[in-house]
Amino acid sequence: MIHPTAIIHPKAQIGADCEIGPYCVIGENVVMGARCRLLSHVVIDGHTRLGEANEIYPFASIGLKTQDLKWKGGLTRTEIGNENTIRECVTIHSATGDGEATIIGSHNTILAGSHIGHNVVMGNRVIVSMAALAGHVVIEDYALVGGLSAVHQFCRIGTMGMVAGCAKVVQDVPPYMIVDGNPAETRTLNKVGLDRNGVSEEAQAALRHAFKILFREGLTISNALARIEKELPGLPEIQHLTEFVRASERGISK
Residue pLDDT, tens place only, 231-240: 999 999 999 9
The amino acid occupying position 87 is R
Is residue 199 in some structural domain?
A: yes
pLDDT of residue 99: 97
Is residue 44 in some structural domain?
A: yes
Total domains in the fold of the chain: 2
221 and 177 in a single domain? The answer is no
Spatial separation of the C-alpha atoms in residues 24 and 1, rounded to whole Å: 12
CATH number reported for the structural domain that contains residue 202 in this entry: 1.20.1180.10
183 and 234 in a single domain? The answer is no
Spatial separation of the C-alpha atoms in residues 61 and 72, rounded to whole Å: 21
Asked which of 169, 190, 211 is the last residue of a domain, the reply is 190
pLDDT of residue 153: 98
User: HEC states along the chain?
Assistant: CECCCCEECCCCEECCCCEECCCCEECCCEEECCCCEECCCCEECCEEEECCCCEECCCCEEEECCCCCCCCCCCCEEEECCCCEECCCCEEECCCCCCCEEEECCCCEECCCCEECCCCEECCCCEECCCEECCCCEECCCCEECCCCEECCCCEECCCCEECCCCEECCEECCCEEEEECCEEEEEECHHHHHHCCCCHHHHHHHHHHHHHHHCCCCCHHHHHHHHHHHCCCCHHHHHHHHHHHCCCCCECC
pLDDT digits (tens, 9 = 90+) for 103-141: 999 999 999 999 999 999 999 999 999 999 999 999 999
Mean per-residue pLDDT, 209-219 = 96
117 and 47 in a single domain? The answer is yes
170 and 44 in a single domain? The answer is yes
Domain that holds residue 168: 7-190
> What percentage of the chain has pLDDT greater than the value 90?
100
184 and 62 in a single domain? The answer is yes
Asked which of 145, 171, 190 is the last residue of a domain, the reply is 190
26 and 135 in a single domain? The answer is yes
149 and 169 in a single domain? The answer is yes
State the burial class of residue 70 (Cβ atoms within 10 Å of its Cβ: 0-12, 13-18, 19+): exposed
Please answer whether residues 56 and 35 qualify as being in contact, where contact means their C-beta atoms are separated by less than 8 angstroms.
no
CATH number reported for the structural domain that contains residue 167 in this entry: 2.160.10.10
pLDDT digits (tens, 9 = 90+) for 180-193: 999 999 999 999 99
pLDDT of residue 71: 94
pLDDT of residue 144: 98
173 and 212 in a single domain? The answer is no
Instruction: Provide the 10 A C-beta neighbour count for residue 187.
Output: 17
35 and 146 in a single domain? The answer is yes
- The whole-model pTM stands at 0.96
45 and 146 in a single domain? The answer is yes
182 and 199 in a single domain? The answer is no
Asked which of 172, 190, 208 is the last residue of a domain, the reply is 190
pLDDT of residue 32: 98
pLDDT digits (tens, 9 = 90+) for 47-59: 999 999 999 999 9
Is residue 254 in some structural domain?
A: no
140 and 233 in a single domain? The answer is no
